[in-house]
A = this chain, B = another copy of it.
Amino acid sequence: MDAEKTHDAVDLSHHLSDLAKARKMSPLKGLQKYMGREHMIAFAGGLPSPDYFPFAAVGGDALVADSFALAPPPPPSPSPSPSPLAWLWRLLGSAPRAERTARIAVPKAPRAGDGGLNLATALQYGPATGMPALQAFVQAFSARVFRPAHAGFATLVHTGNTDGWSRCVMTLCNPGDTIIAEEWTYPSALASAGPVGVGVLPVAMDGEGMRADSLRELLEGWDVSRGRRPHVMYTVPVGQNPCGATMQLARKKQIYDICVEFDVVIVEDDPYFFLQVDEYVPKADRKAAPEASAQDEVSHFIDSLAPSYLRVDYQGRVIRLDTFSKTIAPGVRLGWFTCNPMFAERLERQGETSTQSPCGLGQALVTKLLSTWKYEGYIRWLRGLRMQYQLRRDLFVDLLAEEFELVQAPGTRAQGAWHGRAVYTAYPKAPAPARGRALLSFGEKAGGGAVRKPLFSFVPPAAGMFVWVKLHFAGLARRRGGGDEDDGEETTQEMRLWTALAEAGVLTAPGWFFAADQEDAPTDPDVEGHMRMSFSSAEPEDMRKGVAIFAKTLKEFFRE
C-alpha cells in the first residue's frame, strides 16, 4: 500500500447510482453563510422552542469501563449488589463481584464547552452527520483504531449496519446490478439488495473467508452479456456471519488489489471486529481462568486485531460500517460509516430524506457514556467484552466436547470454507460401560464392524458469536419420520433436523438461510447440511441444557 497516494488521484464518482446522483443538497444549504452567523434572529425554520421539550434532564446508571476487566480486580463496592455476571465468576472460581456503575446525566441547558451535549441541542432537529460530540468521537476513534491509509477519510453516523448497508446499496447500485458476497452470507444484507433489483454473485470461501483466486476468476471471466461487471462487494471479514472466519491483513491486501484492478468498491460490514478472541484450547490444556496478558493492554489489544480493509485503502474505495450493536447494545440503533468524503456526502443526503439524524436521546446517552469512559476506557470495555465472548465460546465448545467425541484434524485436510483451519469432527460418544449397554449401532455399516460415522464438524471460531456446524448426512436415508412431508413439499435433512431440534426445545439457524445463492445451494443437501449456533446470549445453564438436547436429538436423528 502507498499511504502517500491521496483520494484526489482516483475519481470514484462513476460508482454512484442514478438515485444517488439525483439527490440534491437542500437548496437552502447554499444560504448557510447567514445561518452560521452570530446574533441572527431565526424566523426561518420549523423548530419548536426547547422550552417545550418535556425532558429537563436524562441520564442513567452506566457500567464502569472496567466492568469486564479480569485484572486488576476492582475494589469492593461499599454496598455490593448481586452482579448479573455472578455466574461467570463462579464458573471461573472467582468471587462474585458487585456491578459497579457511575451515574451519567445530560441536562437540557447548553453550557460552554459541552460540545452540544445538552438536550436543547440533542432533542432539536440535528445534522445527519450526528451530534458534533459523537461525530468527533467516531472520527478520532476510526483514525486511531483503523488507521486508514487514505488520510482524507470522513465519518458519518447511521442507525446501525442494516441502515448503513441499505444506504450503500441505494447509493452505489442501480437495478440490474449485481454485488459480490461470500458464498455464505448475512441474509439481511441480501434482503436489502434483492427488492431493488440487485442480485448477488457468491465467491468461494476458505478458512479466512473470501478467496482471492475465486474473486479474480469471477471478475476476469465476466461475460458482459450478463450485464455490468459487479462493482460493489459486500463482505463480513471478521467473525464472518455465519462461518466465523477472520481475514488477516495479507489476504485483505490481495483482495483489495484485485478490487483496484477491477474497480470494485468494498463495503466492509464489521460488527464483530472487537470480538476477536484467542484460538480455542481444549479444556484439559487450558489454564483455569484467563489471565491478563500483554495483549490486554490498550495498545496491544488493538494491535492484536486483524486490521480493517481501511488499513490498505489508499484509494478511498472502502466504505466501512461500524455499529454499537455488539459493543454497547443493538437497541441504540447507532453506528457509523468511515469512507471517502465523496461517498460520505451522498450517504448524508440519503440520511436527510430518511431518518435524518439518529435519535437524540440515544445519541446523547451513548455520547455521554463514551465521553465519561473516554477512548481508553471504551477500549478497556471492548477488551473486557472480548474476553466474555472468549469464555462463552470456550464454554460452548467444552460442552460439545462433553457430549460428543471431538477429533481434531489438521486444517490442510479441510476443504471449502474451512481450508487452513483446525477442524473438529464430532462422533457419538461410546456409551459408558457402567450403563450396561452394548456399543450402539450409530453409523454401523450394514455389512461391517462398528465403524463410527462422523455426525458433524466445526471450527471453533476466533471471532464473533457463532459456531458454524457442518452436518454429515451422507448415507442417511431420506424422508424418514417427521410430519412436514405431508404437504407434499420436499423437506431437506437439514430442515428435518432443524424441526426436530425446535420440537425438542432448541432453536438454531438453519444453514440454507445463509446461502448467498438461494437458487443453487453451495452443497448437496443430501450429503451436507449446516446450522449456525450462537453462543452469545444463552445463560450457562441453558447453554448446558441446550447442548444436551442438541446431542440427544442428533443421536436420535442419525440412528433412524
Instruction: Point out residues on A near B: beta carbons under 8 Å.
Output: 19-20, 22-24, 26-28, 31, 34-35, 37, 39-63, 67-68, 84-85, 99, 101, 119, 122-126, 159-160, 162-163, 166, 187-188, 191-192, 194-197, 241, 325-326, 328-334, 352-362, 365-366, 369, 381, 385, 388, 465-466, 502-503, 505-509, 513, 532-539, 542-543, 545-546, 549-550
Answer whether A513 and B63 are a contact pair too, CB < 8 Å, given A45-B534, A365-B58, A536-B46.
no
Of B24, B43, B333, the residue contacting A359 (CB under 8 A) is: B333
Tell me if B359 and A537 are in contact (CB < 8 A). Answer: no
CA distance A9 to B71 in the complex (A): 67
Tell me if A51 and B85 are in contact (CB < 8 A). Answer: yes
Nearest CB in chain B to that of A534: its residue:
B43
CA distance A41 to B361 in the complex (A): 33
Tell me if B507 and A40 are in contact (CB < 8 A). Answer: yes
Q: Which 3 A-B pairs have the closest CB atoms?
A: A331-B360, A359-B359, A123-B331
A-B contact pairs, 8 of them (CB 8 A): A23-B195, A41-B506, A41-B507, A42-B538, A43-B508, A46-B241, A48-B465, A159-B159
Tell me if A502 and B354 are in contact (CB < 8 A). Answer: no
CA distance A148 to B465 in the complex (A): 46
CA distance A303 to B495 in the complex (A): 56
Residues of B within 8 A of A46 (CB): 241, 465-466, 534, 536
Tell me if A44 and B328 are in contact (CB < 8 A). Answer: no
Residues of B within 8 A of A502 (CB): 31, 34, 40
Residues of B within 8 A of A44 (CB): 507-509, 532, 534
Nearest CB in chain B to that of A373: its residue:
B54
Answer whether A358 and B360 are a contact pair too, CB < 8 Å, given A40-B505, A124-B330, A507-B42.
no
Tell me, rounded to whole Å, the shortest Cβ–Cβ distance linking A167 to chain B: 8
Nearest CB in chain B to that of A533: its residue:
B43
Tell me if B534 and A52 are in contact (CB < 8 A). Answer: no
Tell me if B361 and A332 are in contact (CB < 8 A). Answer: yes
Residues of B within 8 A of A550 (CB): 43
Tell me, rounded to whole Å, the shortest Cβ–Cβ distance linking A405 to chain B: 21
Of B54, B334, B361, B549, the residue contacting A63 (CB under 8 A) is: B54
Nearest CB in chain B to that of A37: its residue:
B505
Tell me if A195 and B41 are in contact (CB < 8 A). Answer: no
Tell me, rounded to whole Å, the shortest Cβ–Cβ distance linking A115 to chain B: 16
Of B197, B358, B361, B507, the residue contacting A43 (CB under 8 A) is: B507
Tell me if B329 and A53 are in contact (CB < 8 A). Answer: yes
Answer whether A546 and B41 are a contact pair too, CB < 8 Å, given A365-B361, A534-B46.
yes
Q: Which of A41, A55, A533 has the most CB of B within 10 A?
A: A41
Tell me if B124 and A329 are in contact (CB < 8 A). Answer: yes
Answer whether A160 and B362 are a contact pair too, CB < 8 Å, given A22-B194, A47-B537.
no
Residues of B within 8 A of A369 (CB): 54-55
Answer whether A333 and B360 are a contact pair too, CB < 8 Å, given A51-B85, A187-B26.
yes
